[in-house]
Structure 1
Amino acid sequence: MFVYLLKMIACSGLLYAFYFFLLQKEKMLVFNRFYLLGAVAVSFLIPLTLFRITIETTVLQQPAFVPSGTASSPVTAKHLPFIDWLAVLVYGMILLVSLVLLLRFAYRLWTVKRIIRKQVCQSFYEARIVLSVEDCLPHSFLKYIFLNRAQFERGDIDTAILQHELAHVRQKHSLDILLIELIQIMCWFNPFIWFYKKSIQLNHEFLADHAVVKRTGNTQGYQRLLLKNVYVNNSIPLASSFYFFTTKKRLLMLQLHQSKFAVLKGLLLLPLLGALIGIFSEKVYSQQEVKRFSPPRIVKDLSENDILEYKTIMARDYSKTAKGYKMDKDDYNRAKYLYDHMTAEDAKTVVNFKKAKIFVRPTVIRDARVEQPEHPGATAEEMVEYKKVENSLRVPGKPGSYRGADWAASERAADLYSNKMTEEQRATVRKMPPPPPLPGRDQSAPVPPPPAAPKNGKQLAPPRIVRDKKNRAFTPPKIINDERTRFTPPKIVKDTAK
């Protein structure tokens, strides 16, 4: 906040210096009016301007594996809240002074309103003349022109003076005064705001003088009127007074003509604004990596059984004839998953999977379906369920060996592996053996031979469809070739009706 205030003061000072040295003596009255108001606003906005500057940096890719034991959430130290009492004191003083100035501003507005309500008013073109019984000089505020009642009734007030105050009303100069007053209340510590206020008031007088001369066409007569009424009165708050203390500057401005370099001086404002934005704007530097750095991949530590399982797969599938490894797709995916999730130390103790010569056997089509079809994927809960069953059946120290379990658990695991998991999910687990046979069924019993042909040489008639009492046809069982349970064909009943 303190840096922003310093930048704001510096911007307002440089913009006012540009007006003071280049624009103040030029007869660009309307341009100067809006320049002074705009310069105050711009001095607030330029320090708030934000620019993002991207710096390209070259970063080499260095992927790494970080065990889960070493990867942890960042520890944030607890710090007690720090209170900068000096900043609190400074900002408190600024707010206190601003509050006092705001109360004074409100009181002055209330004073003007009370005068308007108590005095006699009458219309005058777009304005209303307030005839005050108190001794006052001609001045204007908003749409009201304040005059001394006795002087107005005697006709002592010149018509040019009324035209001057009417020009203030028509050009709404009071709005500029109110705006700069509010800014002065908030930024009373900015010394340049006071210079802006005086310059705005002086420019208002230039504009009103120009309007009177343009209407009457008598420049010399108006100058004599100014010399006749040279004195100062500061007792009227928030007013654009005809008798302003800068009469000398007003007389000189009436004699000036617009120079040939006025427009050129106005154009010099553009490079000034560019320089101010470049100096006082807020800049944020961000780095753009030409080669993005691969952050360390946090993986889980593999257990001893997982390492032993990887070694078993590589030893079992090694082919001496091909001097490489011949493995099916499940073993390949499983071994690749285990090797990718090893730490650097564990990877040095096993066969390098990436450098090994591996041949993946083609998928064998058995029965009438393809093994391990692709599925939408098992949910996280189902994967946890499968791993629980796998861990419960695994024989310690013997990778790939499983002990018997209840038929329902094994059947559930087989269903998840074959009908739910995707290829990526299957690679993260070990394929379970088929479930044990159902109780009471002997899988080793041979399949009964087909019935022999009749001795009399007659051909057997096709089996007759037997219907039950409700005349419903018997639906033969659906023949499914299942490796886990041997199917017993239905008994063929000979039709004796014929």
Structure 2
Amino acid sequence: MEWLTYLLEVSVCTTLFFGFYLLVLRKLTFFKINRFYLILSLLLSLIIPAFQVNIEKAVEPLPVVNVQPGLTVQEEEPTQPPLQVMPAEDAAINWFAWLEITYILVAVALMLICLWQLFQLLKHTKEQSQNINGSKLISKQKGFTNCSFFNYVFINQDYLTESELQVLLKHEQVHASQYHSADKILMMICKAVLWFNPVIYLYNKALEQNHEYEADEVTSLSFGNKDYANLLLKLAIAKSDMPLVHNFVKSPVKERIKMLFHSKSKNMKKLMYLLVLPIAIGLIWLFTVQVVYAQAEIKHDKTFQDTLKKPLSKNKELALPDVKQTDPYFTSKDYLDKLSSMNEVHGKTISGAVVGEYKIGEKSSFMRGYLFKSGEKTYVL
């Protein structure tokens, strides 16, 4: 269940972050910032639900119940055992087990497809290439053409003039210098993990558009918007089925041309990116922070704490009055012998029998007790 909860929370995060992008950021011409926003928000969506921060909150202590020594509280046993519905529980467990297996199989299959496409692409990078300004130009007439993967550029030179080739190379060099291919690999992994979430495919499309907008903006500064737009229209019929490459006309050409002639956003509008902070903080509080209610510690003064440290006793011991000055018996050998015997067995358990009554004084009103004999010695109780 934890993995399902995590994936659902990630989906909620991606939905809110991308919704903010569509409503606020999509029309801005800060393409590089938009690119980093999409990547960062996607990574945050994966990270936020994975962490757990506990915040302790004190609550009022429960009332203390004083129980007299010797008394015990016993809970009543239930008269009937709790009802157990085993078939329904087993069915639920099996359902979640099948759901987990299905998710893993689809995710692994998509990852294997991604690795196979990457392997096929790397095979073409071993072909003979021509190094132009740090880009490795590979002539290719079939399959994916007029596209790039990192600094490898696949060109069909049969339909391009020299000037058009320079424009296309400049465009692909922007992709290579900004490491746009790394973003595409990251998106392939995210699509394999979150294949059930439709928002992840919108993320992929938006990120790909920002890659092209950024490359179009830099290239058009060198060759002009009009000539560059004409080249886009000329190559618009070319198609590519390789998702890991940046095709020159893969993204919607109409949107790219409109963005070329779109007025640039003012720098003050960069403050709009700060509006995402409440969304991020809210998601962190919702999925990462957990409030734990703990009972507050009761603080007592020193006198009360010292009292708690004293051992409890059933019987309260009373101090004897100072009678040594009035009754000479307390200095007699008989009393001193009995006192010495009592001190020897104080705190111990002995066996014996009561053999008589013990009295002090003629009126027998000052002290009363019993004589307890154990073995050869007699003690006073």
User: TM-score, with normalisation over the residues of structure 1?
Assistant: 0.57
CA distance in structure 2 between the partners assigned to 1:209 and 1:399 by the alignment: 112
| Structure 2 residue 240 is matched with structure 1 residue 234 | yes
Q: Which residue of 1 aligns with 2:147?
A: 139
**Residues 151, 157 of structure 1: 8 Å contact kept:** no
Residue 115 of structure 2, aligned match among 94, 97, 106? 106
Q: Which residue of 2 aligns with 1:59?
A: 62
CA distance in structure 1 between the partners assigned to 2:15 and 2:65 by the alignment: 52
Q: Which residue of 2 aligns with 1:296?
A: none
Distance 1:250 1:60, change over 3 A: same
| Structure 2 residue 254 is matched with structure 1 residue 248 | yes
Q: What is the CA distance between 1:225 and its match in structure 2?
A: 2.0
Q: Which residue of 1 aligns with 2:99?
A: 90
Q: What is the CA distance between 1:130 and its match in structure 2?
A: 1.8
Alignment of 1:267-278 (within 5 A): 267-278=274-285
Summarize deviations over 1:152-186 as a string: whole Å, max 9, x none: 7x748521111001111111100000011101111
**Residues 101, 185 of structure 1: 8 Å contact kept:** yes
Distance 1:11 1:396, change over 3 A: farther
CA distance in structure 2 between the partners assigned to 1:185 and 1:260 by the alignment: 37
Residue 225 of structure 1, aligned match among 220, 227, 231? 231
Residue 403 of structure 1, aligned match among 369, 375, 379? 375
Alignment of 1:70-85 (within 5 A): 84-85=93-94
Q: Which residue of 2 aligns with 1:192?
A: 199
Residue 180 of structure 2, aligned match among 161, 169, 173? 173
Secondary structure of the residue aligned to 1:27 is coil
**Residues 140, 241 of structure 1: 8 Å contact kept:** yes
Q: Which residue of 2 aligns with 1:164?
A: 171
CA distance in structure 1 between the partners assigned to 2:231 and 2:48 by the alignment: 44
**Residues 174, 240 of structure 1: 8 Å contact kept:** yes
Secondary structure of the residue aligned to 2:294 is strand
**Residues 157, 165 of structure 2: 8 Å contact kept:** no
CA distance in structure 2 between the partners assigned to 1:231 and 1:151 by the alignment: 12
Larger Cα Rg: Structure 1 or Structure 2?
1
Q: Which residue of 2 aligns with 1:421?
A: none
Which amino acid in the other structure matches residue 126 of structure 1? Answer: G
Structure 1 unaligned segments of length 5 or more: list them. Answer: 294-335, 342-346, 362-385, 406-431, 433-498
**Residues 226, 247 of structure 1: 8 Å contact kept:** yes
Secondary structure of the residue aligned to 2:167 is helix
Distance 1:67 1:45, change over 3 A: farther
Which amino acid in the other structure matches residue 4 of structure 1? Answer: Y
Distance 1:155 1:264, change over 3 A: closer
Distance 1:70 1:169, change over 3 A: same
CA distance in structure 2 between the partners assigned to 1:196 and 1:358 by the alignment: 89
Q: Which residue of 2 aligns with 1:6?
A: 8
CA distance in structure 1 between the partners assigned to 2:176 and 2:373 by the alignment: 101
CA distance in structure 2 between the partners assigned to 1:149 and 1:33 by the alignment: 31
Distance 1:181 1:402, change over 3 A: same
Summarize deviations over 1:297-342 as a string: whole Å, max 9, x none: xxxxxxxxxxxxxxxxxxxxxxxxxxxxxxxxxxxxxxx85xx25x
Structure 2 unaligned segments of length 5 or more: list them. Answer: 76-81, 301-309, 324-343, 355-369
User: TM-score, with normalisation over the residues of structure 2?
Assistant: 0.72
Summarize deviations over 1:106-144 as a string: whole Å, max 9, x none: 110111122222x21121222211222536421111221
CA distance in structure 2 between the partners assigned to 1:71 and 1:292 by the alignment: 30
Summarize deviations over 1:183-223 as a string: whole Å, max 9, x none: 11111011111110111111100111122123x15222212
CA distance in structure 1 between the partners assigned to 2:298 and 2:247 by the alignment: 69
Residue 218 of structure 2, aligned match among 211, 217, 221? 211
Which amino acid in the other structure matches residue 127 of structure 1? Answer: S
| Structure 2 residue 130 is matched with structure 1 residue 122 | yes
CA distance in structure 1 between the partners assigned to 2:264 and 2:254 by the alignment: 17
Q: What is the CA distance between 1:292 and its match in structure 2?
A: 7.4
**Residues 130, 138 of structure 2: 8 Å contact kept:** yes
Alignment of 1:265-304 (within 5 A): 265-289=272-296, 291=298
Q: What is the CA distance between 1:270 and its match in structure 2?
A: 1.3
Q: Which residue of 2 aligns with 1:34?
A: 36
Alignment of 1:441-460 (within 5 A): none
**Residues 146, 153 of structure 2: 8 Å contact kept:** yes
How many residues are paired up? 319
**Residues 184, 244 of structure 2: 8 Å contact kept:** yes
Q: What is the CA distance between 1:288 and its match in structure 2?
A: 2.8
CA distance in structure 2 between the partners assigned to 1:249 and 1:273 by the alignment: 30
CA distance in structure 2 between the partners assigned to 1:155 and 1:126 by the alignment: 18
Q: What is the CA distance between 1:233 and its match in structure 2?
A: 1.0
Distance 1:291 1:213, change over 3 A: same
Secondary structure of the residue aligned to 1:120 is coil
Identity %: 23
**Residues 25, 34 of structure 2: 8 Å contact kept:** yes
Q: Which residue of 2 aligns with 1:320?
A: none
Which amino acid in the other structure matches residue 395 of structure 1? Answer: G
Q: Which structure: greater helix fraction?
A: 2
Point out which structure has higher relative CO (alpha carbons under 8 A, 6+ apart). Answer: 2
Secondary structure of the residue aligned to 1:190 is coil
